[in-house]
Structure 1
Amino acid sequence: MTNATDPTFYRSPADAAAAPAERLAYVVAFDRAGDRPDALAVVDVDASSDRYGQIVGWADMPTRGDELHHFGWNACSSALLHAGHDHGDDGLQRRYLLLPGLRSSNVHVYDTRPDPTSPQLVKTITAQELADKAGYSRPHTLHCGPDGVFLSCLGGAGEHDGPGGIALLDHTTFDVLRPWETDRGPQYLAYDAWWHLTQNTLVSSEWGTPSMIENGIDPELLLSNSYGHTLHFWDLEKGVHQQAVDLGAEHQMVLELRPAHDPDASYGFVGVVVSTADLSASVWRWYRDDGAWAAEKVITIPAEPADPADLPPALAPFGAVPPLVTDIDLSVDDRMLYVSCWGTGELKQYDVSDPRTPREVGSLRLGGIVGRAAHPAAPGLPLAGGPQMVEVSRDGRRVYLTNSLYGVWDDQFYPDGVGAWMARIDTEPTGGMALDPAFFPHGDAFRGLRVHQVRLQGGDASSDSYCFR
């Protein structure tokens, strides 16, 4: 069976954790002005290498103004559940990275073989194809799934601001096939999409339509609780909406979804950026409750008081820094949850062995709107931005951070510039984190571009869903 031959398809979370460690990380970098091409950077993350922490590969996009944001592999361990599908002579392999342009609506496809440090462009899915065949724009997040590559999109096609939704792409040709939804019910806003694969359930979350985000955060929309605050649950096979769970209108921007990796589990975590009641951020657990889906807040992170003179204009009237939880990541063994507080510059580590009662076991700071905490590799360099995108290695021992959120939002909260940096954190199995002083690509290393999401060679904690225990 050729489809199961890729050694980076893991039958279980334990197999993934036991596999060889990543040696490379792929990082998307973008030009805020849109004058230069965005890029895919390849970073050496092998601590035994003489090029550790350095950029060892670079690929410019063929277009400008894409604003690369989230990206992912064409295939992952979920392929083991649909290995009987026809994927050509070579079978399905984790070799192509699909890079959506959140501004341009183009999707660039890069082949990481035969030389993983020299990705080669093989196809560009144009904004027109995405609009014509799926009816969507502003592609955001993608995952390899049972029927193809699922590409969540924030906007509708043409002049239609919404609804956002999911486009389905062919695993092998990367042709846009169709919209995934067959009955969207009340869903209109979109952001992330993930699933409980063996339970035929897809979960989706909400941010806002293009007009709500592309000019920056809109204070009127925020204070009127108009950004997303609902989880949606779907029949994965049929694309039919089944249930909406509203977290409460004050819980604005329900973003990153992290379902448990255990294929028998029926829970997951989602981060909420801000509460309009008190500027706190939160993490919620979704779970089955007597046959239906429910959600409960399990973590609350309060805002931190600050001198208005130290705050950007958007926050000065409040006299406080909101945590702004903009990413979360769950270790492959479902034990540790990492929560990035981009506003305060803090990364929090929680033991979620009991997912109902997370317990904070670690914290560190880098950057922050007020704190500007430095990295030990450059103690005299105040950092802008903060822990934003978080990626955890399969064995849970390493965490990678980047610092840019989204171009225009960076500018609102860090008006003096956000810069570019990437950090690695070493973790302890029972809790605790320490920054690696030898790993700190930043500034000119990324050629003046800002950096966002990280993907690890062979998979990572947020790229795969598993089919077996």
Structure 2
Amino acid sequence: MELPSVFAPFKRDPTFYPSPKMAMKSPPEDLAYVACLYTGTGINRPDFIAVVDVKPESETYSKVIHKVELSYVNDELHHFGWNACSSALCPNGRPNFERRFLVVPGLRSSRIYIVDTKLNPRQPNIVKTIEPEEVKKVTGYSRLHTVHCGPDGIYISAFGNENGEGPGGILMLDHYSFEPLGKWEIDRSDQYLAYDFWWNLPNEVMVTSEWAVPNTIENGLRLEHLKDRYGNRIHFWDLRRRKKVSSVTLGEENRMALELRPLHDPTKLMGFINMVVSLKDLSSSIWLWYYEDGKWNGEKVIEIPAEPTEGGLPEILKPFKAVPPLVTDIDLSLDDKFLYVSLWGIGEIRQYDVSNPFKPVLTGKVKLGGIFHRADHPSDHKLTGAPQMIEISRDGKRVYVTNSLYSTWDNQFYPEGLKGWMVKLNANPDGGLDVDKEFFVDFGEARSHQVRLRGGDASSDSYCYP
């Protein structure tokens, strides 16, 4: 039966889905929003959000059709996210919200831009700017990183305090005004280092990870800092009480516990995290964190070794005569079947079948750039840098990849220069991966980082229904 017109104003945002299974049936994306930066390149220009046409039948397919130029230089765009998403449909959510605004923080500046995509999705514009002084005054945090749209507010992680030390943590923005509200944590216990975060909403669990404080990382990697200034723990919190309840160390020899990818199925209290480097042998690893028998556990399920070589190494790697994998990002398809892993040192994207999360199976691999492979795009475009950020379409068939990690680290590991690009991989539903020869986006001297797909993607939304 058709509802009377009086109900029309209460129609929910069509990009919100109660469950990941329903989200997988959504229409394919037509636009990608990409964080691009001049910070660290020597070019004195503001960073920008690029709008890329990703609709294959479009005349401007794989082209940058607009740039949202920021107001200042040296913001260092990194990760950004939506003001609202499918979590709004949770029992304590606000289903009258809409996925309209991109919340775009500067990692180096701590400034926050609010970008409106509704009036013209192909030409969004900045409608509000929250200055770093306001962020620091209200929250005490700086160097803003990950943005997640929660059911009750907008959450943003921060590396450290206003002086560039710790503790790092999470701050909240008001859903309506975007004004900073304050620190999220009530009882952090011994948590000091911060990086990523995500959650399981029905079980009221928050999970956070560790990189290092701003003063350690901002000027580049110093090898002598690896042993005692970089994190290797994962923390578990009571989401409602905002209290840390447990921590797990992910191997004493491992450092840099970065991206958290919980299973999208809200009935399963588990997820994956990548450890960037082992002090023992330069390998990278993927760990499964899970709740069992009343406690939190961590188990290594994938290990990727370094590749021995003596040629073409940057100064920072010459003493080791090897290229570490440097697994710097991972992403999980909405059906929780495939985990994608970027090897920013070697130059690969790998696809693992994680239907059994404890025993991943390698099902696909492509070579792109890298210190080790130095592989070009199949369309003959030369690739500098290597696969870094990964974003997966909601149906799991397309994977978008960009190549910049962090400005000062880019300069250390790719001193010959890193120019921004985005490529698309086609994923076989039964396993397998290949590079789309028709899709290549060249950002020129600007470097490319986070990708957000219009309407949502595999790492933007969280769900409360299985």
Do Structure 1 and Structure 2 share a fold, with TM-score over 0.5?
yes
After superposition, residues 235-246 of structure 1 pair within 5 angstroms as 235-246=238-249
Mapped pair 1:390 → 2:390? yes
Residue by residue, what CA displacement relative to the aligned partner does 1:347-366 show, whole Å, maximum 9, x if unpaired?
A: 00000000010000000000
The answer (yes or no) to whether the contact 1:225–1:276 under 8 Å persists in 2 is no
Give secondary structure in 1 for the equivalent of 2:438: coil
TM superposition shift of 1:448: 2.1
Give secondary structure in 1 for the equivalent of 2:36: strand
2:464 aligned residue:
467
Mapped pair 1:65 → 2:74? yes
1:362 aligned residue:
364
Distance, in Å, in 2 between the alignment partners of 1:247 and 1:237 is 25
TM superposition shift of 1:384: 1.7
Q: CA RMSD in A?
A: 1.3
After superposition, residues 17-56 of structure 1 pair within 5 angstroms as 17-31=24-38, 32=40, 33=42, 35-56=44-65
2:400 aligned residue:
400
Q: TM-score, normalised by structure 2?
A: 0.96
Residue by residue, what CA displacement relative to the aligned partner does 1:281-318 show, whole Å, maximum 9, x if unpaired?
A: 000000012111111000000000111x4100100110
Change (3 A) 1:217 1:168: same
After superposition, residues 30-429 of structure 1 pair within 5 angstroms as 30-31=37-38, 32=40, 33=42, 35-81=44-90, 85=94, 91-157=96-162, 159=163, 161-222=165-226, 224-307=227-310, 309-378=311-380, 381-429=381-429
TM superposition shift of 1:248: 2.4
Mapped pair 1:439 → 2:443? no
Distance, in Å, in 1 between the alignment partners of 2:427 and 2:434 is 7
The answer (yes or no) to whether the contact 2:139–2:181 under 8 Å persists in 1 is yes
The answer (yes or no) to whether the contact 1:225–1:250 under 8 Å persists in 2 is no
The answer (yes or no) to whether the contact 1:193–1:202 under 8 Å persists in 2 is yes
The answer (yes or no) to whether the contact 2:388–2:403 under 8 Å persists in 1 is yes
The answer (yes or no) to whether the contact 2:216–2:229 under 8 Å persists in 1 is no
Match of 1:238, as an amino acid?
Answer: R
Match of 2:62, as an amino acid?
Answer: G
TM superposition shift of 1:155: 1.1
Give secondary structure in 2 for the equivalent of 1:64: coil
Distance, in Å, in 2 between the alignment partners of 1:370 and 1:301 is 14
TM superposition shift of 1:147: 2.5
2:3 aligned residue:
none
Distance, in Å, in 1 between the alignment partners of 2:104 and 2:91 is 24
Please point out which of 439, 445, 448 is paired with 2:445.
448
Give secondary structure in 1 for the equivalent of 2:99: coil
TM superposition shift of 1:129: 1.1
Match of 1:372, as an amino acid?
Answer: R
Per mean C-alpha deviation after superposition, the further-off stretch among 34-43 and 277-286 is 34-43
Distance, in Å, in 1 between the alignment partners of 2:435 and 2:146 is 28
Distance, in Å, in 2 between the alignment partners of 1:270 and 1:278 is 19
Structure 2: any 5+ residue segments left out of the alignment? 1-6
Give secondary structure in 2 for the equivalent of 1:63: coil
The answer (yes or no) to whether the contact 2:261–2:332 under 8 Å persists in 1 is yes
TM superposition shift of 1:211: 0.7
The answer (yes or no) to whether the contact 2:142–2:164 under 8 Å persists in 1 is no
Give secondary structure in 1 for the equivalent of 2:452: strand
TM superposition shift of 1:447: 4.7
Change (3 A) 1:210 1:108: same
Residue by residue, what CA displacement relative to the aligned partner does 1:323-342 show, whole Å, maximum 9, x if unpaired?
A: 00000000000000000000
Distance, in Å, in 1 between the alignment partners of 2:104 and 2:331 is 20
The answer (yes or no) to whether the contact 1:312–1:412 under 8 Å persists in 2 is yes
TM superposition shift of 1:131: 0.7
Match of 2:425, as an amino acid?
Answer: I
Distance, in Å, in 1 between the alignment partners of 2:420 and 2:349 is 17
Distance, in Å, in 1 between the alignment partners of 2:359 and 2:257 is 20
Residue by residue, what CA displacement relative to the aligned partner does 1:156-209 show, whole Å, maximum 9, x if unpaired?
A: 02x251110000111121010110000001100000010011110000000000
Distance, in Å, in 2 between the alignment partners of 1:218 and 1:10 is 44
Distance, in Å, in 2 between the alignment partners of 1:220 and 1:3 is 57
1:16 aligned residue:
23
Distance, in Å, in 2 between the alignment partners of 1:331 and 1:78 is 17
Give secondary structure in 2 for the equivalent of 1:423: strand
Change (3 A) 1:412 1:171: same
The answer (yes or no) to whether the contact 1:3–1:93 under 8 Å persists in 2 is no
Give secondary structure in 2 for the equivalent of 1:310: coil
TM superposition shift of 1:82: 5.0
Change (3 A) 1:126 1:3: farther
Residue by residue, what CA displacement relative to the aligned partner does 1:81-138 show, whole Å, maximum 9, x if unpaired?
A: 15665x9xxx311010011101111011100011101111111111111111111000
Give secondary structure in 2 for the equivalent of 1:18: coil
Match of 2:128, as an amino acid?
Answer: K
Match of 2:51, as an amino acid?
Answer: V
Residue by residue, what CA displacement relative to the aligned partner does 1:372-411 show, whole Å, maximum 9, x if unpaired?
A: 1000112xx4422111000000000000000010000001
Give secondary structure in 2 for the equivalent of 1:436: strand
TM superposition shift of 1:225: 4.0
Distance, in Å, in 2 between the alignment partners of 1:271 and 1:447 is 29
Change (3 A) 1:354 1:39: same
TM superposition shift of 1:226: 2.5
Change (3 A) 1:440 1:243: same
Sequence identity percentage:
53
Distance, in Å, in 2 between the alignment partners of 1:195 and 1:34 is 38
Distance, in Å, in 2 between the alignment partners of 1:249 and 1:434 is 36
